[in-house]
Amino acid sequence: MQILDILEPDINESQTNEIAIGIDLGTTNTLGAIFLDGKVEFLGGIMPSRVHIEGEQLEIDYANRSTSAYSIKSLMGKKVSDLSSDDLKSKNIKVANNQINIKLSESEYSAVELSSFILTQIKARAQDIAGHSITKAVITVPAYFDDIARQATLNAAKLAGLEVLRLINEPTAAAVAYGLDNHQEGIYAVYDFGGGTFDCTILCMQMGVFKVVATAGDNQLGGDDIDALLMQHFLSQNSLDPVNDPKLFLHLKDQFRRVKEDIFGQQSVTQIIYYLNEIFTYSLTKKEFNELIQPIVSETYNLFNQLLFESKLNFQNLEGIIMVGGSSRIEVIGEYFGNFIARDKIYDSHDPEKIVAAGAAIQAFNLANYCGKLLLDVVPLSISLEVYGGLCEKIINKNSLIPTIVKKSFTTHEDGQSGIIFNILQGERELAKDCRLLAHFELKNIPPMKAGLPVIEVEFKVDADGLLAVSAIETSTENKISVEIRPDFGLNQNKINQMIEDSYSHATQDLLLKYKIETISKAQELVKSINRMTSERADIYEDSNEEKEMLDKIKNLEEALKKEDLSEIEAKYLTISSMAEKLANKYISLVMSSEFKDKNLEEIKETYLEKVIG
Amino acid sequence: MAKNIEKYTYFDLFSIDASLHIELDALEKNYLNLQSKYHPDRFKDETQKAEAMNVSQVLNKAYDTLKDQFQRRVYLLNLHGINIIDEKYRFNTSEEILSEVFELRAKIENNNDPDELNEFKAFASKAYNEMLLKFDSLYVENRYIDCGHFLASALFYHKLLEEIDLRMSKAYANS
C-alpha cells in the first residue's frame, strides 16, 4: 500500500560532496574529524577541553595550567542550584544574577562561551585542512544530557558560527564508527565511560538502520572521579586536610590523573607528588588501584546491568559491547565484561578516545549529503507535565523514539477560569519538585466558560536532536489561542527567567553558606601554613618588625574567624595573603638552599615554584 | 499523501490488520522500511523535510504504540471511540482492585529483596494477564464499553508492574 505519496529522497550522486565536521566536545578532551574520500580524517590531535587567558585572548591550554577553566562541559545547562560543593571547590566559579560564570584572570565567561571558543578552534583546524570555509557540523553529547544541556550545546555552536546538522548521542556515534567495517546485524551495547560522564546505550542494527532501544547514564560520573578518589587516598594517607583552593585542587588532581594513566599496563606505579611546598611519593599497586576504584566502576556496571534488565535482555542477546571513552581502557572493566561475553565480542579495536569523533564525522557527512545509514535515537529522560498535587504526568516516556509528537487535551477546573499554567519537567521521579523544570508557560485569555468546557490541546514535539517544543491551543471556540515555547528560547524567556529566579532564591542562600564555609576553611589553612613555616624556619622573617606585623595580622584574622564574620574574614585574609606569599617564597629559598646545596638555586626554585603554585 | 498521514490508522501505516495480536517482526520490518524512506534526514528541500518530519514523528509514535501490548489495546479502543483516560472509565475501578494494588504498592516500596519482588511480580502479572484475557474475550464480542472498564482497571496493574520492574532492576543491578 502506498500511503505516503511524497517525492523520493534527494540523492544526487553527481553533486560534489559537502564537508561537515564531526565534533566530540568532551569534558576532558575535544576532537574534530571530517569524512573525506571514504575515510575519517582527524583534525590534528586531541585538544584539551581547557581554556586559559593570555592577556585578553582566550587560548586552548595545552600545558595543564592550574589557572585554566576545565571540565566546562559539566557546567553546560547547569543552574545555580545544581552546583555541587565540589564544583565550588574545584573551579573558579562566580555566581551573579543566577548566572554561573567561570573566572579567568579578570574576566568571567559562561560555560557556553568557553565551549563556543573550543568549537571555534576545531572549526579553524577544519578550515585549514579543507582550504575553505566550513559551517556545518555534527556535535556529540552524552546520551543522558537533558534538554537544557542540549540547548546550551546548540547555543555554543551558534556562537561559534556553526550550523548544527544534528546533536547526536556519543554512544550512538561510536556505534556508527564501528558499523563501518562491521555489517553484522543484531543488538549491540555501548559502554561509554568518559572523563566526566558515563553513558550506556543498547541499539539494534538492522536493515541498514541504527535504532536505539534504550539508554541510561550518569552525567556526574567519569574518569575525573577516579582522579579525585586517588587524590583523596593520598591526602588521607598523609593525614592532610581536604583541598579547598581551586588552583591547588586542580594542580594536585592533575598529578593523580597521571598516576591513573601510568598504572595502565603496569603492576604498580610510584609517583612524585608536589603539594603545599612539599615533595611526597605516592605508590600504588594494581591491586590497590582496583580496590580503590571499585565503587566507581561498580556504579557503571550497575547502570549497565539495569539497562539490560529494563530492556528485557541479557548478555547472550548481545552481538557485542562497544567500548568508548578514555576511562573504558581501565583493564578491570574489560575483565569484568569478559566474565559475561566472549572476548572477541568486546569491541575495543578503535581508539576509545577517537571513536566518537569518527562516528560524528561519518554522520556529519551522511547528513550533509542525505545518504548513508539512518540513525534513530530515543528520548533519554521522560517528559512530564506537573498536574494537581505537584505530581508528574508523563507525556513522553523515556526511550521513546525521536522525532516524536504527542497531543494531550486539558480543561479548566473553575467556572470562568481564564488561564492555565503549565510546568514542563524532565526526569523519572514522581513528584514535580524532584524533576528538572524545563519550562513554564501560561495559556491566557481563555474565554469565560463553565469549568470543564474549554478544550486546550497541548502538543509536545521532540525533534531529531532530542529537543523539545511545546505548543497549546484552545480549540472549543472560534478564538484559537496558541503559544509556542522552546525551553531556554522562545517567547516566554522573561517569564522563564523570573520563574527560575524565584525558585532559586533559596538556593542562593545555600550557596552563600557554602561560600562562607569555604572562605573560613581557606583562611584557617593559611594561618596553619604560616605557623608551620615559621615554626620550621625561625629565620623566615627579615626582622622583628616584620614578624610582629605578621603576628598582628594573624591575630586579627583569627579574631574575625572566631566571630564568623564573612566580610571581615575576607578583608583580613586579603591583607595577609600577599605577605604570606612573600614568606612562602623565602621559605622555599631557605629550604632549597639547605637541601640542594650543589644545584643552581634559581633554576630549582623556579621549577619548584611552578609546580607548587602553577 | 504525507499531509494526510493522520487520516490513517497506525495499523494502516504498517500494513497490518487492526487486531489484538500482531506479528511483531512484520511491524519492525515495515517500520524500518518506512523510516528509511521518509525520515527527514533523507530530504534536502525544506518543505519536503518538514513534511517528512511530520511523517517520521507519526511513524515513531505509531511504532511505539503498537509494539506494546497494553498501548496497542488502548489504541484499538480509541479506534472504537473509547478513551480509557475518561473519568467514567478511570474512576470506575472496583474498591477491591484498588485496595489490592495499593497494598502491593506499599509492599514493594523500598523493597530490595529480589525473591520477594519476584513473588509480587508473579502475583500482579497473573491478575493483569487475567484482565487482558477478559478484555480480549469482550473485544471479540464487540463489547467495547465493557472493554474500557477492564482496561482502565488493568492500567493500575500495568503501572504497578512497571514499578516492580524498576525496583527489580535496581535490586538486580546491585546484587
CB contact under 8 A, B64 and A404: yes
Looking at residue A508, what is its pLDDT? 43
pLDDT reading at A335 higher than 90: yes
A-chain residues near B41 (CB < 8 A): 166, 366-367, 370, 374-375, 464
Of the partner residues A209, A306, A370, the one whose CB lies closest to the CB of residue B32: A209
Nearest residue to A405 via CA among B73, B111, B123, B50:
B50
Q: Nearest CA of chain B to the CA of A182: how many Å? A: 20
B171: Cβ–Cβ under 8 A, 6 or more apart, which residues?
A: B111, B112, B113, B114, B117
pLDDT in tens, A347-372: 998 999 999 999 999 999 999 998 88
A257 forms bridges with which residues in the sheet? Answer: none
Long-range contacts of A384-387 (CB under 8 A, 24+ apart): A384/A424, A384/A425, A384/A426, A384/A427, A384/A432, A384/A435, A385/A422, A385/A423, A385/A424, A385/A425, A385/A458, A386/A422, A386/A423, A386/A424, A386/A425, A386/A432
* Interchain CB contacts (distance < 8 Å): A and B: 103
pLDDT in tens, A202-241: 999 998 899 999 999 998 899 999 999 999 999 999 999 9
Inter-residue contact A212 to A201 (CB < 8 Å): yes
Of residues A1, A301, A370, nearest to B43 (C-beta):
A370
Longest dimension (CA), chain A: 98
Please report, as a single letter, which amino acid is at residue B94. S
Q: Which of B169, B172, B174, B175 to mutate to test the interface with A (most CBs of A within 10 A)?
A: B169
| Separation between Cα atoms, residue A236 and residue A364, nearest integer Å | 47
- Kindly list the distances between the CA atom of residue B116 and the CA atoms of A303, A330, B164, in Å, as whole numbers in the listed order: 22, 36, 11
For A482, list phi and psi in degrees, rounded to 5. Answer: -135, 145
Nearest neighbour of B12 by CB, restricted to A3, A302, A461: A3
Residues A167-194 as b or e (16 or more Cβ within 10 Å = b): bbbbbbbbbbbbbbebeeeebbbbbbbb
Mutate to test the interface with A, among B7, B49, B60, B65 (most CBs of A within 10 A): B60
Residue of A nearest to B37 (CA): A9
The answer on pLDDT for A515 being more than 80 is no
Instruction: Give residue A114's pLDDT band: very low, low, confident or very high (50, 70, 90).
Output: very high
Q: How far apart are CA A516 and CA A488, in angstroms?
A: 31
Burial class (CB in 10 A: 0-12, 13-18, 19+), A6: middle
Dist CA A494 CA A483 (whole Å): 15
Nearest CA in chain A to B4: A4
First to last CA, chain B: 53
Q: Does domain B2-67 have CATH number 3.40.50.720?
A: no
pLDDT tens string A237-278: 999 998 888 888 888 998 999 999 999 999 999 999 999 889
> What mean pLDDT do residues A76-95 have?
80
Tell me the nearest-neighbour CA distance from B56 into chain A, angstroms: 7
Please say whether the beta carbons of A576 and A554 come within 8 A.
yes
Is A309 close to B28, i.e. CB distance below 8 A? no
Sign of CA dihedral A244, A248, A249, A255: negative
How far apart CA A572 and CA A563 sit, in angstroms, is 13
Q: What amino acid is encoded at A242 in this protein?
A: P
Cα–Cα distance between A251 and A514 in angstroms, integer? 22
- Measure the CA–CA gap between A598 and A416, rounded to whole angstroms: 91
Mean pLDDT, rounded, for B28-52: 92
Selecting from B2, B40, B173 the residue whose C-beta is nearest the C-beta of A4 gives B2
Residues from chain A that touch B57, judged by Cβ atoms under 8 A, are 403-405, 461
Checking if the pLDDT of B173 tops 80, the result is: no
Give φ, ψ of B18 to 5 degrees.
Answer: -75, 85
Work out the pLDDT band at A570, boundaries 50, 70, 90. confident
Which of chain A's residues have a Cβ under 8 Å away from the Cβ of B170? Answer: 306
Contact A435, A427 (CB under 8 A): yes
Residue A183, pLDDT above cutoff 80: no
Pairwise CB contact (< 8 Å): A403 & B53: yes
Question: What confidence category does residue A498 fall into, taking pLDDT thresholds of 50, 70 and 90?
Answer: very low
pLDDT level of residue A488 (50, 70, 90 thresholds):
very low
pTM for this model (two decimals): 0.79
User: Coil, strand or helix: which one is A374?
Assistant: strand
How is domain B83-174 classified at the CATH fold level? Answer: Monooxygenase (1.20.1280)
A576-590 confidence digits (pLDDT tens)? 877 777 777 777 777
Task: Please tell me the predicted confidence (pLDDT) of residue A507.
Answer: 43
Question: What was the pLDDT predicted at A27?
Answer: 93
Name beta bridge partners: A281. Answer: A272
Mean residue pLDDT of chain A comes to 83
C-alpha span between A404 and A212 (Å, rounded): 14
Residue of B nearest to A394 (CA): B159
Rg, chain B, Cα only:
19
Residues of B in contact with A405 (CB under 8 A): 54, 57-58, 61
SS (H, E, C) chain B: CHHHHHHCCHHHHCCCCCCCCCCHHHHHHHHHHHHHHHCHHHCCCHHHHHHHHHHHHHHHHHHHHHHCHHHHHHHHHHHCCCCCCCHHHHCCCCHHHHHHHHHHHHHHCCCCCHHHHHHHHHHHHHHHHHHHHHHHHHHHCCCHHHHHHHHHHHHHHHHHHHHHHHHHHHHHHHC
**Mind giving me the DSSP string for A27-63?**
SSEEEEEEEETTEEEE-SS-EES-EEEETTEEEE--S
Distance (Å, whole) CA A32 – CA A41: 9
B63–A401: do the CB atoms touch at under 8 Å?
yes
In whole angstroms, give the CA distance from residue A197 to residue A74: 8
Using DSSP's 3-state secondary structure scheme, residue A129 falls into helix
Instruction: Calculate mean pLDDT across residues A165-192.
Output: 87
Contacting residues of A for B51, CB less than 8 Å apart:
6
**In chain B, which residue's Cα lies nearest the Cα of A302?**
B173
Q: Inter-chain contact A366–B41, Cβ cutoff 8 Å?
A: yes
Name the least confident of A174-183, A568-577, A587-596, B165-174.
A587-596
List the single residue in B36, B51, B168 with the smallest CB-CB distance to A208.
Answer: B36
Judge whether residue B64 has pLDDT over 80: yes
Q: Shortest CB distance from A406 goes to which of B61, B170, B174?
A: B61
With beta carbons less than 8 A apart as the criterion, state whether A517 and A178 touch: no
For residue A85, the model assigns a pLDDT of: 74
3-state secondary structure A201-220: EEEEEECCEEEEEEEEEECC
Give the whole-number percent of chain A exceeding pLDDT 70.
86
Its ipTM equals: 0.89
Find the mean pLDDT for residues A76-85: 82
Cβ distance of B172 and A367 shorter than 8 Å: no
Which of B6, B33, B57, B174 is most worth mutating to test chain A (most A CB atoms within 10 A of its CB)?
A: B57
Asked if A207 and B36 come within 8 Å (Cβ–Cβ), the reply is yes
Out of A330-334, A539-543, A596-600, B1-5, the most confident range is: A330-334
Of all residues in chain A, the one with the smallest CA distance to B44 is: A10
Contact residues on chain B for A10, CB-CB shorter than 8 A: 42-45, 48
Separation CA A411–CA A430 (nearest Å)? 22
Q: What is the pLDDT of residue A77?
A: 86
The angle, 0 to 180 degrees and rounded to 10, between the axes of the packed helices A566-595 and A493-536 is 40
Q: How confident is the model at residue A610 (pLDDT cuts 50, 70, 90)?
A: low
Q: Which of B35, B56, B169 sits opposite A306 (nearest CB)?
A: B169
Tell me the domains of chain A and their CATH numbers: 21-221+293-376 (3.30.420.40), 383-491 (2.60.34.10), 501-613 (1.20.1270.10)
Write down the domain spans for chain B.
Answer: 2-67, 83-174
- Which residues of B lie closer than 8 Å to A, measured between beta carbons? 1-2, 5, 8, 12-13, 15, 28-29, 32-45, 48, 51-58, 60-61, 63-64, 165-166, 168-170, 172-174
Interface of A with B (CB under 8 A): 1, 3-7, 9-11, 166, 206-209, 211, 301-303, 305-306, 309-310, 366-367, 370, 374-376, 400-406, 461, 463-464
Provide the CA A497 distance to its chain's centre, in angstroms: 23
Report how far apart, in Å, the C-alpha atoms of A83 and of each of A224, A595, B65 are. Answer: 16, 43, 38
Kindly give the residue spans of alpha helices, DSSP state H, lying in A537-600.
Answer: 544-563, 566-595
Task: Give the distance from residue B30's alpha carbon to the nearest chain A alpha carbon, in angstroms.
Answer: 11
One-letter amino acid of A160 = A
Q: Looking at the complex, report in whole angstroms how far the Cα of residue B145 sits from the nearest Cα belonging to chain A.
A: 21
CA distance A483 to A422: 11
Sign of the torsion formed by the C-alpha atoms of B23, B26, B30 and B32: positive
Contact: B32, A367; criterion CB under 8 Å? no
Half-sphere exposure of A610 (CA within 13 A, CB side): 9
Question: Is residue B81 pLDDT above 60, yes or no?
Answer: yes
